[in-house]
Structure 1
Amino acid sequence: MLKLAIWSAVIAVVALANIQHPFGTETVSGGPTWAHASKPEDLLVANVTALHLSSVTSTDNYTPLSHPRFPNHRVRIKSSDFCDPTVKVYTGYLDVDGGAKHLFFYFFESRRNPDMDDVMMWINGGPGCSSSMGLLMELGPCSIDMKNISSNGTIWNPYSWNKEANIFFLDQPVGVGFSYADYGETVETTEEAAKNVHAFITIFFETFKQFSGRPLHLSGESYGGRYLPVFASEIYDQNQLATAEGRPTLNLQSVLIGNGITDISTIYTGRYEIECGTAALDVPFQKISTCVRMKTALPRCLEVERKYCIDQFDAMNCDAAIGFCDSQLSTGYWASGRNVYDISKMCLGDSLCYLENGVIKEYLDLPSTRSLLGVETPRNFTPCSHSVSYNFHMHMDKWRSPTQYYIAGLLERGIRVLLYAGTYDWQCNWVQNKLWIEKLEWTGKEAYETAKWRDWTLDGEKVGETKTAGVLTFATVRGAGHMVPHDKPAEAQAMVSRWLLQKDL
């Protein structure tokens, strides 16, 4: 916590509300002088022991927050009138590496009881995709207006996940969405990104004491299946150090992953079943000749993948193995013109296959939107960064580390995990998730094997199937693709509501 000698300093912060301070000249207590001047923004300085979030009222100036344990990190936050007029909204940046990198975030208070409700963080996958897409296309308080019926470019979302939780949307790593670096710095592995996420949440929770001890849930989709287990493990491990040293901890309660990529060993088996079996559609769409080729190549693909990527990781040979697997087992689908995120639809627009992506980009590039959010990067908004994706691939981030072991470690330590999957997804499909969960090595493995599948419903209608053992739950969402909240918003919100209440789906 930042040290404060006397409470009069709190009053001084309020007095500073209308005084401008050049960004490059202020020193935040407990940290370095942030002397870079990427943009001459005016800031308020908050060298206080604790604040209430409601004290951040300026919509023009950022309030910077630092922490003595993270001398190279700082959070800057401001109030915003963006998206949801019924709750308090905040946007800001996490500055890392002495202010050279800047991670953008949105924070929406709960529509129900912000002073009591849990806190959730949402991230999109990629790697390299902005959480603005999840916000404006899936589960945020407002959705992008695709019919041009609103005056501000967005429409109210009654199924937002902030219905019963306070929620962050974080653009990470640097280079994603509105996050940027001053001098071309990059983050190229999940483990490196995890340290920044832990610092961000810690600074926020320890500064705004209203969140102290509040249950924390990490959620996301797609490459979130790689990100989130590592992020949650970093938080858990840092909590153990904090406890030993008598410091506050983060009350990490659960991880929620939608259509994630976690265990690479089941990817291609799952894709074959979605494309050529009846796991998604009652009648397979793919040509028989293509399915025969895929079936013939699958054993060899699995053999070389296991030899070079799993049993003993060899970067060059693993990359070659994945190249072979994709050439034999993915090219048929790519050539079909179908949406890789929803087998029931054709691909529309760009390679991301949804028309919303282009409209969201146009909306977030508007000067009025950027001003409302406090965006600093000179770059235009990009839904998914190819350079970030490339850098992660060059490090073989997805294949180098067996992420399912992080899941097992979290389960063994009592962290609840919800894995859910829309059944129409091809990219990170429900079959591959079902298969790796079934073979996951943890003390609850036998209990999970013997547990019964059951239907889960909403308003008397079947949504999908679910299975639970201890702190692990797997659920399918019938008729949804890769982005479950986009395709089944009411069902997704009901699922999250029950999860937060620790009820069976």
Structure 2
Amino acid sequence: MRLLQPLLVVGSIISALVNAQFPSSSVNLTTVTSPVDGNITVSYKIPTGACKTAYQNQQQYTGWVSVPGPFPANMFFWFVGAREPTDVLTIWLNGGPGVSSLFGMFTEVGPCEVVEKGLNQYDTVAREWGWDRASNMLFIDQPNQVGFSYDIATNGSMDLFNSNQSAPPQPVPNGQLPATFLNGTFASLNGNNTVNTTETAAMAIWHMLQGFLGAFPQYNPPNNTALGVNLFAESYGGKYGPVFSDVWERQNEKRQNGTLSANKTLEIHLTSLGIVNGCIDDQVQAKYYPAMAINNTYGFKAMNDVRASLANGSIYATGGCLDHIRQCRTAESTYDANNTGQVREVNDLCAQAYSNCYNNVVSPYAESGRSFYDIARKSPDSFPPSTYLEYFNTAGFQQAIGSVVNFTMTSQAVWDNFQATGDYMRGPLIPKLAGLLERGIRVAFIYGDRDYICNWMGGEAASLSVALQAGSVYGSRFTSAGYAPIIVNDSYIGGVVRQFGNLSFSRIYQAGHSVPAYQPETAFQVFARVVLGTSVSTGDQIDLEHYNTTGDAEATHTDKLPDSPDPTCWLRAMQTSCSDGQISMLQKGEGVILNGVLYSASSDWPLATMAPTSTQAASSSSSSAVLTGVFTATSTPKSGGVVRDPQNSFAALVAFFAGAVLLGAGGL
């Protein structure tokens, strides 16, 4: 999108932004042709200084895989080697559809996070509980035109008030603050140059992985070991995860039966699929929207009982949500079984199903004024912090990773395409997850219990449905397994888990939609135990064929919601982070913009009033954490756990870092 430049006075606003920034076309990439497919090229570099890892010897690559297809597709990836040598490879995907996976990398599970170093200055610090602690990590911006992925680099404009993009570049509209209308280089914005269904996206990423793993064979886990490729996907990843995994497994089968050449393709040896607060299948999950709104474990009522009853009734009514889903899927299975998104009648029925279910079942919650992603927070909700959006659009960062386009957090072209085909309602997806279990692949559901939009009640129901469809053993043993505590460390229980064999469902306490951002240590321990095939409860080695958890039949733990903080207005995330009052300030030219954040006065900027601490204290703080290893419980903590406020934790990190900067201690 756009980058920070020297201070610019506009009316009464001091802006750290300028209205034009075009990345350099000289990016020094190394380009190779995939040894397994001559139609695929991989262009990459080492992103020196872009993301500080726990250890300097951790290998990193950023780059683009150009995949074959009906339109140009340059798929961006960021690879980070594990802190300790391992064959484990984990692919992380964010959802949307159309949201960059760098959101997850820089705010949830990646090796580093961005902090403010000073005015127009940023740095990165290693994340203690980054998932590179247990695995090599591969983050992919997909589908095409998302994040740093692009078809044709095209100069254009973006209006931050409404996120509208246009090409060619336009002058700033009369009367509009230049900081809110930005010119740069993007993907083409052409909806014909990206995919329109999860199924077609899955094949694109299969080709992308053929290119990446062909160019970097050392990171393709041997298929004769128990540790292979893991796919973890969040939110719309509830769609991506089952479909991508199923498509990749079918591609493997084609290699085995000779339909695909085994010499010209690579097996993607999938060992586990993790779904983090995923919206999987409304045929199962829809009824848990009104249930979560009025009967959650925090005692918060988002609507009155009458409104909830109406929402629930609309699910089962003639012409209601479930009726529309059935019509969509009947047409899909008859006329578009391969989910090409090219049959208008199917697209229309499935799009209508989404509109019906969303408008009548999901959206009444908006009346509560609470975030769809965290019932504890009032809207707008600016967590996790969007500092990374400013950092990504600095010239130094883009040069380091080799990008010729600015960063696009959410692709409108992808969103529109998926909406038009009704992709959200296509399915069913429960059978695909059951099929993975039947193939011996671990399936883990990981849900924060403060999320509404893909809530844990619906996730639990989906896990039970998967068990029932996976055969009699899972149908009886998983459904009868009790909930055991998730023992995170010697003093903290982070949630509860039901597990039998390769199937687990984890409810994570005091976490919203982006679970690892809220409870990083708990999320990491669950992740590591899933990919290592150990007990999700304790981390112990187990016999997966026979192991099941024991405990309460239901996850009934109750708690209190923390107070809702005031929103932070990030210009590059204006529609989701800024209140009406803050948007009005921007329209009137009031306030101060520092590092992409709107403040009432410059004195409100945290770094403006930061009290210095000693260099010695800063040094010892930065080196006290142990940055490797997975916890294995030897006993159960007596107390059930403590609420950990992620915003306060992040503020403490910023405070420490700023103190070091003020003393000239330099970056961490």
- % identical equivalent positions: 28
Instruction: Map 1:155-174 onto structure 2 (within 5 A).
Output: 155-174=125-144
Change (3 A) 1:394 1:373: same
Q: 1:478 aligns with which of 509, 529, 537?
A: 509
| Offset at residue 335 of structure 1 (A) | 3.1
Q: Secondary structure at the match of 1:467?
A: strand
Match of 1:389, SS state, is helix
CA contact (8 A) 1:243 1:249 kept: no
**276, 281, 285: which is aligned to 1:263?**
281
Q: In structure 2, which of residues 444, 447, 466 is the aligned counterpart of residue 421 of structure 1?
A: 447
Residue identity opposite 2:375 in structure 1 = I
Quote the residue 1:56 is aligned against: none
Any unmatched runs of 5+ in structure 1?
Answer: 1-38, 43-59
CA shift for structure 1 position 172: 0.3
Instruction: Tell me which of 39, 50, 66 is aligned to 1:72.
Output: 39
**What secondary structure does 1:466 align onto?**
strand
AA in 1 matched with 2:144: V
- CA distance in structure 1 between the aligned counterparts of 2:254 and 2:316, rounded to whole angstroms: 45
Deviation by residue 1:150-193 (Cα, 9 ceiling, x = unmatched): 96333321110001211011000001011111264111111111
Matched to 1:445, the amino acid is G
Q: Which SS does the other structure have where 2:324 is aligned?
A: helix
**Equivalent pair of 1:130/1:384 in contact (CA under 8 Å):** yes
Number of the residue aligned with 2:521: 490
Match of 1:142 among 105, 112, 120: 112
CA–CA separation in structure 2 for the residues paired with 1:425 and 1:232: 25
Partner of 1:7: none
Q: Which residue pairs with 1:95 in the alignment?
A: 66
Structure-2 change in CA distance of 1:166 and 1:312 (3 Å): same
Instruction: List aligned pairs for 1:18-417, cutoff 5 A.
Output: 61-67=28-34, 69-81=36-48, 82-85=50-53, 86=56, 87-97=58-68, 100-113=72-85, 116-145=86-115, 152-182=122-152, 184=190, 185-214=193-222, 215-245=228-258, 246-247=262-263, 249-278=267-296, 280-300=297-317, 301-310=320-329, 313=332, 315-348=347-380, 353-354=382-383, 356-357=385-386, 359-377=387-405, 380-417=406-443
How far is the alpha carbon of 1:389 from its aligned partner? Answer: 0.9
Aligned to 2:533: 502
The 3 A distance-change label for structure 1 pair 490 and 149 is: farther
Q: CA deviation at 1:67?
A: 3.1
CA drift of 1:503 comes to 0.7
Distance 1:281 1:146 in 2: 34
CA distance change for structure 1 residues 339 and 72 in 2, over 3 Å: closer, same or farther?
same
**Radius of gyration: which is bigger?**
2
1:89-130 CA-to-partner distances (Å, cap 9, x unmatched) read 1100011237821111111111112xx331111010000000
Instruction: Give the CA deviation at 1:466.
Output: 1.2
Query: SS of 1:330's equivalent?
Result: helix
Q: Which amino acid aligns with 1:216?
A: V
Structure 1 counterpart of 2:45, one-letter code? K
Q: Give 1:447's aligned residue.
A: 477
Distance 1:468 1:448 in 2: 6
- Report if aligned partners of 1:94, 1:104 keep a CA contact under 8 Å in 2: yes
Aligned length: 442
Q: Deviations over 1:56-110 (max 9, x none)?
A: xxxx522223236534322211111221242221100011237821111111111
Higher relative contact order (CA 8 A, sep 6+): 2
Considering only aligned residues, what root-mean-square deviation do their CA atoms show, in Å?
A: 2.6
Name the aligned partner's letter for residue 294 of structure 1: A
Tell me, yes or no, if the aligned pair for 1:75 and 1:200 is still in contact at 8 Å. Answer: no
C-alpha displacement of 1:344: 0.9
Counterpart-to-counterpart distance in 2, 1:315 and 1:229: 21
Partner of 2:543: none
- Pair 40,458 (structure 1): closer, same or farther in 2 beyond 3 Å: closer
How far off its partner does 1:329 sit? 2.4
TM-score, normalised with respect to structure 2? 0.62
- Amino acid paired to 2:303: Q
1:190-231, CA deviations, whole angstroms, 9 ceiling, x for partnerless residues?
111112212222233233332343411111101111112222
Distance 1:148 1:463 in 2: 35
Contact 1:416 1:472 in 2 (8 A): yes
Gaps of 5+ in 2: 1-22, 153-187, 223-227, 333-345, 537-668
Deviation at 1:455? Answer: 2.0
Q: Quickly say closer, same or farther: Cα 1:63–1:422, change in 2 above 3 A.
A: same
Aligned mates of 1:292, 1:212 — CA distance in 2: 51
Distance change in 2, residues 1:144/1:122 (3 Å): same
Matched residues in 2 for 1:404 and 1:488: separation?
27
User: What TM-score comes out, normalization by structure 1 length?
Assistant: 0.81
